[in-house]
Amino acid sequence: MSGSAIPSSVQRIAVLGAGHVGPVIARIALDAGFEVAIAASGSPENLELITQVVMPGAEARWAADAVAAADLVVLAIPLHRFPALDPGLLAGKLVVDAMNYWAPADGVVPMFKGQEVSSSEIVQRQLSQSTVVKSLNQIAYQDLEDGRRPAGSPDRHAIGVAGNDAGAAKLVGEVIDRIGYDPILLPSLSAGRILQPGGPIFGAVLARSQFELAIRTTAVHA
Amino acid sequence: MTTSTTESPRETTGGSTPFPLVLGLDTFGDHEHDARDRPLSHAQTIRNVVEEGVLAEQVGVDFFGIGEHHTDDFPMPAADVVLAAIAARTQRIHIGSAVTVLSSDDPVRVFQRFSTLNAISSGRAEVILGRGSSIDSFPLFGYDLADYEDLFEEKVNLFAELRKGGPVTWQGNLRPSLNNQDVVPFTENGPFPAWIGVGGSPQSVVRAAHYGFSLMLAIIGGSPARFRPFSRLFLQALEKFGREPLPIGVHSPGHVADTDEKALEEFWPRWLNIITKMSKVRGFAIPTMESFRFEVGPQGALFIGSPETVAQKIATNLKTLGANRFDLKFGMPGLSPASVLKNIELYGTKVIPRVRELLAD
């Protein structure tokens, strides 16, 4: 399992990936008061203008520097790039896996092909020295900002948080809550399969009650 | 959370634009049904699209675009052929792709086809290049979805070279190189307008600016206002690359009928049907009436309703985004030709004049 220490609290977040998803996560994390660094595959220079305009307040850095300084790392790269990512880069870190695998739309990625486990279990297997929590994968990036609501709002939406390490999942849940969603904790990465493409929750913006209903209904039919 | 999420989209606008207002229509060749809801043939649907393009000119629409698709719901793989037929029967309207899936096409061929269209139409052709959010062309032409980004990057690079005119020398990894080669037909009056369709990636915005293409924001879900930073990013990136400002457009789906109720009633079952099919392919949950209502509302990406409702929404979003062009993606698989023609007529005769009026001050 993981050989990493879970931080006592999260203040600094590194977002890896500056495509569709990464900048949106960076922005909502900044809004929630976190310190945010963003990195893509290349030099931070290429990201400076994008960061300034689209995520003002975030810092564009080299991936290694962003990760080293972070309490929590969000993986938001295209999944087919994941096999080439050096696991050593993320060793000892709490990692939120926001990626998804759906071959019909994104192509076949051999590392993930035909597996009966959740994609995050494969990510965890690969990142053996990190603690992986599956979250932020299920709401479409275009809905992630507008879907936020303050704590206690009657129409607050929910985001699933699945992890094998209960402490890590709880910590990620607190981040989700601060960002503006009700965290729904799932007991394992394997249970996080329900959050994936093809499942009843993926791509939907649901209130806690609808979310829990979808989980119960699916469990009955499974 | 420390920031309100209900910030008004009008608080800051994307900035004013120096470019003339352009109001266009786009279709994907949506497979039409007759009045008794029986599917027309693909061939009849394509002939209807030609008539729709001709009507668009007659009612005062500025641009008619056709988006490449490869399915039974959207049997429109050769948009440029259909555009040529429209060009032959019109004099004024601009015509173009919306989009050309460049990732699975050959940039040289795309350039040749659209410079030919430009010749036929005496300079009215435009091309909007996209990676294609609809990925049907990849297996058809033997491309790997895993190469999605690399294919687009390299092909946009070559297309930018071709568009400059003159002999081309180019080298890449995914296509044979060109060595001082003429690519005909030459254009009469410099490069024809070229755009890049951008979904939600800021890196694509910077890419468009880098190559000197105009920016077409494809807003098909969620709040249009969230694209506001992209307009600023585009203008700042152009400046960084030492380029003059370029137009910014918005492409969104919608439907216009005499009343809001009629428009919603015609559109909803067709939309539900197609989005349900897409949900299965893309793996997301089937949308609900609630999510549809949100998209139709002021914060959503669907432009559906009476001419007044749609005109207000277009004007508001053009101001918010600092854009000078709006292309309404009309039609939906299963709609009848009558309802589609009515939509085009109302868009040209009612929506366009009203948007011009709303943006005049």
Encode pLDDT of B57-90 as tens digits: 999 999 999 999 999 999 999 999 999 999 999 9
Give the CA distances from residue B283 to residues B137, B165, B276, B286, in Å, rounded to whole numbers and listed in that order.
19, 43, 10, 9
> Who among A33, A105, A141 is closest to B282 (CB)?
A105
pLDDT of residue A2: 44
Residue B10 resides in a domain: no
Residue B2 resides in a domain: no
Residue B345 resides in a domain: yes
Q: Is A19 on the interface with B (CB under 8 A)?
A: yes
Given a contact cutoff of 8 angstroms between Cβ atoms, the answer to whether B158 and B111 are in contact is no
Encode pLDDT of B51-64 as tens digits: 999 999 999 999 99
Residue B14 resides in a domain: no
In this model, does residue B160 exceed pLDDT 60?
yes
Domains and CATH numbers, chain A: 12-221 (3.40.50.720)
Residue B5 resides in a domain: no
Q: Which residues of A touch B228 (CB under 8 A)?
A: none
In this model, does residue B134 exceed pLDDT 70?
no
CB contact under 8 A, B2 and A205: no
> Which residue in B340, B337, B344 sits closest to B41, CA to CA?
B337
Residue B233 resides in a domain: yes
Give the CA distances from residue A65 to residues A44, A200, B111, B328, in Å, rounded to whole numbers and listed in that order.
10, 37, 43, 44
Residue of B2, B5, B137 to mutate, interface with A, max A Cβ within 10 Å: B5
Q: Is A150 on the interface with B (CB under 8 A)?
A: yes
Q: Which residues of A touch B146 (CB under 8 A)?
A: 80, 106-109
Which residue blocks in B283-332 are alpha helix, DSSP H?
289-296, 307-321
Say how far apart CA B210 and CA B204 lie, in whole Å: 10
In angstroms, the separation between the Cα of residue B123 and the nearest Cα of chain A is 35
Count of structural domains, chain B: 1
Q: Which residues of A touch B138 (CB under 8 A)?
A: 107
* A42 CB-contact burial (10 Å; exposed 0-12 / middle 13-18 / buried 19+): exposed
Residue B38 resides in a domain: yes
Domain that holds residue B211: 22-358
| Whole-complex ipTM | 0.92
CB contact under 8 A, B222 and A142: yes
Which amino acid makes up residue A40?
A: A
Encode pLDDT of A157-195 as tens digits: 999 999 999 999 999 999 999 999 999 999 999 999 999
Residue A22 token pair: 């990464």
CATH number at residue B170: 3.20.20.30
Residue B103 per-residue DSSP state: G
